[in-house]
Amino acid sequence: MKKYWPLGLLVTTLIWGSFFSTLLHAKIFFFQFWVGLGLLTYSKEGFKLSKLHLLLIGLLSFAAISSFWASDLYLVWNGHYWRGTGIYFYLSLLLAYLSLSSKEEDKLDQLDQLLMGTIAVSGIVSACSIFDSLFIRGESASTVFTENTNATAGLVGIAFLLVFKKFDDLKKIKKFLPGSLLILFFVAIVLSGSRSALGGLILSFSLLIIFNNRNLIKGSIVAALSVLVALVAYYFLIDATFINNMFARAENFHRLKIWSGAFNAFLDAPILGWGLHGLYEGFWNNFPGTLSGQFQWIDNAHSIFFNILSELGLIGFSLFAAILFFIYKKIAVLDSKEKSFWSIFLLYVFSYLLFQPVYIDTLVFLLIAFSIFTVQSTNKEEKEFEFKGILPTTTKVALGLFLMIISFQQIHQHYLIKESRKALVNGRDYRPIWKNFLGSTPMVDKTGALLHLSNQFTLLVSDQSLPEKDKNIFNILILREFEKFSKTSQHRPRYQDAYGVWLMRNRKLDEAERVFDNILKKSPIIVNIINLKAELKILKGDKSSALSLFEKSNELHKSVSTKMNLARLYAESGYREKAKQMLKEALILSPANPQILQILNQFN
């Protein structure tokens, strides 16, 4: 078991989340369980803690302590329902790192095998991603295993650089193998459409060639040009979607606005922060109105630096900065070749994480890479704290059992959620299963689970073939569930948004307006809520207030739907020229839109 446990960690990245469960939960459950099993396997071995290990423990401990001032204790420990990375997962990640990086030097061979396994797994992910993108879905970025394009690019980019680490060993297997892998990984990253991964990789790749292996320059230029020619041919002859998508997103670079909101959230709570996974509330208070609706309840700053700064404040960020400093000190003691490689590797990692959230698959690859780095950079003069005997053994066993039990509990609760959803979709009584879930100890984000179930209700209510009587029953059922959480979820804006919508569907307009007003009290420039309140005013017959709200929404964010609503209200109020102007502006945003053209023709 000891021989294969490290390789088993790689299975995490090959779990197809869509097949096993919703989103990425299957990966998290497996990883936590496997780490727990590893702790039991290595329970009799002592371990050494360096200053770097202690700082990581300190950062995780502070994140856990943040549950005392965070608005939602369960989010800190379980993570959001749609992400799932809470303290339990980060604890398992830290324990895996301690187990791998505390190895003696004679066990470095085992870590080298793990590195080769990482490259092999990335090869599988890349091949499947390319095949899926080009021949099956034809999308700009395949998410076969990672369910996120940036996660695919992140882990493949890490493996791309690790090929240089094992270049000679790979060449011994097959002379063409390292070059083929580099081309495979590069194509997968380009097809992913991840600008941060691609930009960071090109920079890191160039530096690696210059400082590590100048003999590769000629071959690398030829390979890069070959790939470039192939991609240009693909662009012109087959499908330009992924490149067009990359440029389109570059023109609408929302990161700066997101970072601005996250930084202002930090200024609101500069010392302690909002608590782990608390950015959604800090962002709610500091929402940049120019952002579109897709970012309104953002819970991730799309940057590890801004996430730590806003969620854990200056204390957490100071611990993070100290970790970076000690990593730099470890690099400084390496020989010139190793120093240049790991410096460039870190440059890629942090240039990527500066622009992207942290994903499970990417974290597993980073865990392996940094475990190898830590063992290789171990300085015998560096002071380490060694723990042996009954206490560390007991601690390992206790933590191992704890993680395994937690994983089983989470699996069971997600099973109940899944069965509730299936019963609902198939027209069976979901309530006994759902009640069982609500009565269990919270090991997942229950509010998030209700929002997930709410989406299924929305689909059912939107079904045109469903009788009106059944639609009314579904509306009443979901509203009852929302009312159970209404008092304990005042701090969850995404929940309040959905709650207000279900109140509107049940014609409880005054209550819905109170919910929307409470949301707008914290941030009066959230476009989607302004639009919902305008629609509510129309239902109340107050078209004058609705018109004012839509005008405010239009000033904050230009959208086709808002302009169409304004055109309709202007026309009904007798302002035909204003209505025509709104339709023309909508046509600029959506050229050749048949609905807009038809209405314009009626005006003319």
Residue 480 inside a domain? The answer is no
Can you give the pLDDT at residue 146? Answer: 76
Give the integer Cα–Cα distance in Å for 410 and 396: 21
Is 3 within the bounds of a domain? no
Q: What is the CATH number of the domain that holds 574?
A: 1.25.40.10
User: What pLDDT is recorded for position 140?
Assistant: 46
Q: How far apart are the first and last CA of the chain?
A: 78
Which pLDDT tens digit goes with each residue over 540-549?
Answer: 999 999 999 9
Looking at residue 255, its pLDDT comes to: 82
Select from 252, 281, 312 the last residue of a domain.
252
Burial of 67 (0-12, 13-18, 19+ CB in 10 A): buried
Residue 225 has pLDDT above 70, yes or no: no
Residue 381 confidence (pLDDT) above 80: no
Instruction: Calculate helix-pair angle for 390-425, 87-101, nearest 10 degrees.
Output: 140
Q: Which of 205, 227, 252 is the last residue of a domain?
A: 252
Q: Which element (helix H / strand E) includes 98?
A: helix 87-101
Asked whether residue 384 is assigned to any structural domain, the reply reads no
Asked whether residue 553 carries a pLDDT value surpassing 70, the answer given is yes
Question: pLDDT digit string (tens) for 396-453?
Answer: 999 999 999 999 999 888 888 888 888 877 778 888 888 898 888 888 888 888 888 8
Of all residues in the chain, the percent with pLDDT exceeding 70 is 86
Mean pLDDT along residues 62-72? 93
Does any domain span residue 391? no
Band (pLDDT 50/70/90 cuts) for residue 293 is low
Note down the domain range covering 578. Answer: 546-604
What count of other Cβ atoms lies within 10 Å of the Cβ of residue 420? 24
pTM for this model (two decimals): 0.87
Q: Is residue 150 part of a domain?
A: yes
On the question of pLDDT at 21 being above 50, the answer is no
Domain count for the chain, please give it: 2
Among residues 252, 278, 309, the one where a domain terminates is 252
Check pLDDT > 80 for residue 361: yes
Which of 35 and 25 is assigned the larger pLDDT? 35
412 vs 46, residue with greater confidence: 412
Mean pLDDT for 213-242 is 55
Determine, yes or no, domain membership for 511: no
User: What tens digit of pLDDT does each residue of 144-178 get?
Assistant: 677 778 888 888 999 999 998 888 888 888 888 98
Does any domain span residue 469? Answer: no
Mean pLDDT of 566-579: 88
Sign of CA pseudo-dihedral 287, 196, 160, 240: positive
Residue 105 confidence (pLDDT): 52
* Cβ pair 532, 500 in contact under 8 A: yes
Tell me whether residue 149 is in a domain: yes
Mean pLDDT of all residues in 567-580 = 88
Average pLDDT, the chain: 83
Cα–Cα distance, 183 to 542 (Å, whole number) = 62
